[in-house]
Amino acid sequence: MTWDQQEIRLAPRERGFHLITDEIVRALPGLADLEVGLLHLQLLHTSASLTLNENADPDVRHDLDAFLRHLVPGDLPLCLSSGE
Protein backbone atom coordinates (compact mmCIF):
# COMPACT_ATOMS: atom_id res chain seq x y z
CA MET A 1 0.00 0.00 0.00
CA THR A 2 1.29 3.44 -0.93
CA TRP A 3 0.35 6.69 0.72
CA ASP A 4 1.12 10.34 0.22
CA GLN A 5 0.85 13.36 2.48
CA GLN A 6 0.81 16.92 1.19
CA GLU A 7 0.00 20.36 2.45
CA ILE A 8 -2.37 22.25 0.17
CA ARG A 9 -2.73 25.99 0.55
CA LEU A 10 -6.00 27.31 -0.78
CA ALA A 11 -6.41 30.83 -2.09
CA PRO A 12 -7.86 33.25 0.49
CA ARG A 13 -11.58 33.79 0.25
CA GLU A 14 -14.14 35.98 1.88
CA ARG A 15 -16.71 34.58 4.27
CA GLY A 16 -19.06 32.17 2.54
CA PHE A 17 -19.41 28.74 0.98
CA HIS A 18 -16.90 28.00 -1.76
CA LEU A 19 -16.23 25.11 -4.11
CA ILE A 20 -12.67 23.84 -3.65
CA THR A 21 -12.77 20.59 -5.64
CA ASP A 22 -10.80 21.95 -8.62
CA GLU A 23 -8.09 23.41 -6.36
CA ILE A 24 -7.72 20.11 -4.52
CA VAL A 25 -7.52 18.11 -7.75
CA ARG A 26 -4.91 20.50 -9.25
CA ALA A 27 -2.83 20.23 -6.08
CA LEU A 28 -2.79 16.42 -6.32
CA PRO A 29 -1.52 15.59 -9.84
CA GLY A 30 -0.97 11.93 -8.92
CA LEU A 31 -4.67 11.53 -8.22
CA ALA A 32 -5.33 10.41 -11.79
CA ASP A 33 -3.02 7.41 -11.29
CA LEU A 34 -5.04 6.00 -8.39
CA GLU A 35 -7.75 3.39 -8.70
CA VAL A 36 -8.84 3.58 -5.06
CA GLY A 37 -8.03 6.19 -2.48
CA LEU A 38 -9.04 8.01 0.64
CA LEU A 39 -8.60 11.75 1.16
CA HIS A 40 -8.34 13.31 4.60
CA LEU A 41 -8.58 17.10 4.84
CA GLN A 42 -7.59 19.10 7.89
CA LEU A 43 -8.19 22.81 8.25
CA LEU A 44 -5.60 24.67 10.28
CA HIS A 45 -7.52 27.94 10.50
CA THR A 46 -9.42 28.42 13.75
CA SER A 47 -12.58 29.85 12.21
CA ALA A 48 -12.76 27.84 8.99
CA SER A 49 -14.94 24.80 8.48
CA LEU A 50 -15.48 22.23 5.80
CA THR A 51 -18.74 20.71 4.59
CA LEU A 52 -19.33 18.06 1.96
CA ASN A 53 -22.38 18.73 -0.18
CA GLU A 54 -23.70 17.73 -3.54
CA ASN A 55 -23.35 20.48 -6.10
CA ALA A 56 -26.34 19.84 -8.35
CA ASP A 57 -28.11 23.03 -7.30
CA PRO A 58 -26.10 26.23 -6.68
CA ASP A 59 -29.02 27.57 -4.64
CA VAL A 60 -28.01 25.20 -1.83
CA ARG A 61 -24.76 27.13 -1.21
CA HIS A 62 -26.66 30.40 -1.37
CA ASP A 63 -29.27 29.17 1.11
CA LEU A 64 -26.65 27.87 3.56
CA ASP A 65 -24.76 31.16 3.36
CA ALA A 66 -27.92 33.24 3.86
CA PHE A 67 -28.96 31.15 6.86
CA LEU A 68 -25.56 31.39 8.57
CA ARG A 69 -25.30 35.13 7.90
CA HIS A 70 -28.72 35.49 9.54
CA LEU A 71 -27.76 33.21 12.44
CA VAL A 72 -24.31 34.78 13.00
CA PRO A 73 -24.07 38.27 11.50
CA GLY A 74 -20.58 39.62 10.84
CA ASP A 75 -21.07 42.42 13.36
CA LEU A 76 -22.32 40.26 16.24
CA PRO A 77 -21.29 42.34 19.30
CA LEU A 78 -20.64 39.40 21.62
CA CYS A 79 -17.97 37.93 19.31
CA LEU A 80 -14.43 39.08 20.07
CA SER A 81 -12.85 37.72 16.88
CA SER A 82 -13.76 40.08 14.06
CA GLY A 83 -10.61 40.30 11.95
CA GLU A 84 -11.38 37.43 9.60
Is 22 within a domain?
yes
Q: What is the mean pLDDT of the chain?
A: 86
> Could you give the maximum distance between any two Cα atoms of the chain, in Å?
51
Domain residues for 4? 1-73
Would you say residue 26 has pLDDT above 90? Answer: yes
Report yes or no on 16 lying in a domain: yes
Judge whether 12 lies within some domain.
yes
Any domain includes 79: no
Q: Domain count for the chain, please give it.
A: 1
Write the pLDDT tens digit of every residue in 36-67. Answer: 989 999 988 877 888 888 888 989 999 999 99
Q: Residue 84 has what pLDDT?
A: 59
Classify burial at 17, counting beta carbons within 10 Å of its beta carbon; exposed 0-12, middle 13-18, buried 19 or more.
Answer: middle
